């Protein structure tokens, strides 16, 4: 998968929050095979208390994608992005501008505005958005080169609530990388997203809160691989009626 001119080794992307210990987080990253992990600037602090967490991530070798998690306004998101670029020394940024406290649904109006500002300043923006086609077009017009539609509310584990909308996005944006972000709860959800033609999935809670986080990370990696292989193999269309696999012609007629 190529994003912003660079190759990402794995189609499974991981968040880094809510893990019981740094050691478990490292085990999860290695078990998943991911090459890209998101991290909120809020995990780092000015007094250096976050250095242990930062060192844990560096030791895994995974690329860091800073995240404006928790931002609710354009100003807050842009300011956080500037700080993240300084702390993590990267122009890559996962952009979140939250508009609803309960569902954590993106404020798509503020999202587009913030994306336009940040791309003009040289950021490579990964926008967390809804599955709306018009919003997707506005984000691409703002300078984004990929879209990250949600599957369901963050941390809900509901899977893909509107697969038809994701299927429509794939058809409408055939050359744009699409990453399902949020809502994945089980490996079957990840496989379904990939079978729809998504280029990757980004998840966190489903792994972090599993009884065996490393085991779940490995399961998610296999599901992503299987789902993508299924999509590439051009699966059969669904049918309303049964179709016999054994030919009817040539069968003996018994009196």
Is position 204 annotated in a ligand binding site?
A: yes
Residue 129 phi, psi (nearest 5): -135, 180
Distance in angstroms (rounded) separating the CA atoms of residues 38 and 18 = 13
- State in Å, rounded, how far the first CA of the chain is from the last one: 60
Residue 38 to residues 163, 168, 188, 240, Cα–Cα distance (Å): 24, 27, 22, 42
**Would you say 175 is a known binding-site residue?**
no
Out of 11, 85, 94, 116, the active site residue is: 94
- Cα–Cα distance, 10 to 17 (Å, whole number): 20
Whole-number Cα distances in Å, 235 to 141, 197, 226, 229, 231: 33, 11, 12, 10, 7
Answer yes or no: are the C-beta atoms of 179 and 196 closer than 8 Å. no
CA 217 to chain centre: 14
The encoded tokens of residue 9 equal: 């080794």
- Annotated catalytic residue 94: yes
C-alpha–C-alpha distance, residues 144 and 148, integer Å: 10
- Residue 162 annotated as part of some ligand binding site: no
Token couple for 161: 């609530």
Question: 143 among the known binding-site residues?
Answer: no
DSSP symbol at 236:
P
205 among annotated binding-site residues = yes
Point out the annotated binding site: 155, 182-183, 204-205
Residue ranges for the known binding site for 1-deoxy-D-xylulose 5-phosphate are 155, 182-183, 204-205
Q: Hey, which residues are catalytic here?
A: 94
């Amino acid at each position: 998968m190529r994003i912003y001119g660079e190759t990402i080794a794995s189609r499974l992307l991981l968040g880094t929050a809510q893990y019981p210990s740094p050691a478990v987080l490292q085990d999860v990253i290695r078990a998943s095979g991911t090459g890209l992990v998101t991290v909120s600037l809020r995990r780092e602090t000015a007094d250096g208390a976050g250095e242990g967490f930062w060192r844990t991530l560096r030791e895994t070798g995974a690329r860091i994608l800073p995240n404006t998690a928790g931002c609710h306004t354009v100003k807050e998101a842009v300011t956080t992005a500037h700080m993240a670029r300084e702390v993590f020394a990267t122009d890559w940024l996962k952009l979140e501008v939250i508009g609803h406290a309960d569902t954590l649904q993106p404020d798509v109006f503020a999202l587009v505005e913030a994306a336009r500002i940040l791309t003009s300043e040289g950021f490579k923006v990964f926008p967390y958005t809804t599955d709306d086609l018009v919003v997707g077009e506005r984000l691409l017009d703002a300078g984004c080169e990929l879209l990250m539609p949600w599957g369901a509310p963050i941390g809900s584990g509901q899977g893909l609530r509107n697969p038809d909308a994701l299927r429509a996005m794939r058809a409408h944006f055939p050359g744009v990388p699409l990453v399902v972000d949020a809502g994945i709860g089980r490996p079957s959800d990840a496989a379904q997203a990939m079978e729809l033609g998504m280029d990757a999935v980004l998840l966190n809670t489903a792994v972090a809160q599993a009884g065996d986080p490393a085991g779940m990370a490995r399961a998610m990696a296999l599901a992503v691989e299987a789902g993508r292989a299924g999509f590439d193999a051009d699966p059969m269309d669904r049918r309303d009626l049964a179709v016999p696999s054994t030919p009817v012609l040539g069968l003996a007629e018994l009196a």
